Amino acid sequence: MNSANHPPVVLVIAGNDPSGGAGICADTQAITALGAHPAPVLSSLTVQDTANAHAVEAMAANFVGAQARAVLADLPVAAIKLGLLGTAEIGREVAALLAEHPEIPVVTDPVLVAAGGAELAEKELIGTYLDELLPRTTVLTPNALEIRSLAPNAENTEARVAALLERGCRYVLAKGGDEDTPDVRNSLYSPEGLAGRYDSERLPGEYHGSGCTLASAIAAGLAKGLTPELAVGEAQAFTFNALRRGWKPGSKPGAQFIPFRYVLDD
């Protein structure tokens, strides 16, 4: 029995980053820190350090579906977070299982490329996002590269966001971390227009796992019953703190900072 005293469950479908900076480890840390219970379903394995990814191997799509359906048939899943899916076949499998649970809010981080630049997903997955996953997405969290890949014909952020909202997702959080601006500007849009602006200081250094942290924190908020606007606000604050306290455990050239997701605040 679910009870108000139990943490809400977030089903996460994502890849493993063995450095623990990004991927499903980042997701489970952020969700746990925000008081929800992560149910981790692996879509893929990567060979990766804190500088870059070196190889990615996708699971069989039906095995991804089987992992998720086992959880959905048993636990009271209150939100779903999609991280790296990797292949169009896995994307279609995930879309099919989302269709079986239309009432559960979904946060989609359309992961295509590792923070170090390595490609993590096949190109065909872009069409699956547009046609099958966006219509079931509550909050989409594209970074600068992802939003251009998903809306290649649009000329500016507003037009890109409009193209994605037309596909049926309820909110787009356009992330500005990789844009050429002095501060970091993340903007939340709904079909009614701008729903929130989250400006933060641009911290020095490169970060690995910031997108996973933010999207999972939003999913935790939705699972706790927050509105998308409040969930994004809480997630922004959590992620900024995690980045501000970020640390650099790697020793390789190009090693990046990873967010510190172990405490809520100072």
Which amino acid makes up residue 191?
P
Give me the amino acid identity at 94: V
Write the CA distances from 181 to 74, 178, 215, integer angstroms.
Answer: 46, 8, 22
Minimum CB separation from ligand PLP for residue 60, in Å?
A: 17
Rounded to a whole number of angstroms, the minimum distance from the CB of residue 114 to ligand PLP is 3
Between 98 and 243, CB nearer to ligand PLP: 243
Give the nearer residue to ligand PLP in terms of CB position, either 15 or 91.
15
Q: What's the sign of the alpha-carbon dihedral 117, 118, 123, 128?
A: negative
Write the interaction track for ligand PLP spanning residues 196-235; mark x where CB under 6 A is met and - where it is not: ------------xxxxx-----------------------
Distance CA 199, CA 223 (A): 25
Please identify, using beta-carbon distances, which residue of 44 and 138 lies nearer to ligand PLP. Answer: 44
- DSSP H helical ranges for 109-192: 124-128, 144-150, 157-166
Q: Does 14 bind ligand PLP (CB under 6 A)?
A: yes
Q: Does 87 bind ligand PLP (CB under 6 A)?
A: no
- Please enumerate in sequence order all residues whose Cβ is within 8 A of that of 67, keeping only pairs 6 or more positions apart, or say none: 41, 42
Of the candidate spans 30-38, 46-54, 196-204, 240-248, the one that interacts with ligand PLP by CB under 6 A turns out to be 46-54
Minimum CB separation of residue 235 from ligand PLP in Å reads 13
Size of the site for ligand PLP (CB under 6 A): 19
Give the nearest distance from C-beta 183 to ligand PLP in angstroms: 19
146 class by beta-carbon count within 10 Å (0-12 exposed, 13-18 middle, 19+ buried): buried
What does the per-residue mask of binding to ligand PLP show for 108-147, with x meaning CB under 6 A?
A: ---x--xx----x---------------------------
Which runs of consecutive H residues, i.e. helices, occur in the chain? 23-33, 61-72, 88-99, 124-128, 144-150, 157-166, 210-223, 228-244
Which residues of the shown chain bind ligand PLP in the complex (CB under 6 A)? 14-15, 17, 22-23, 46, 48, 53, 83-84, 111, 114-115, 120, 208-212
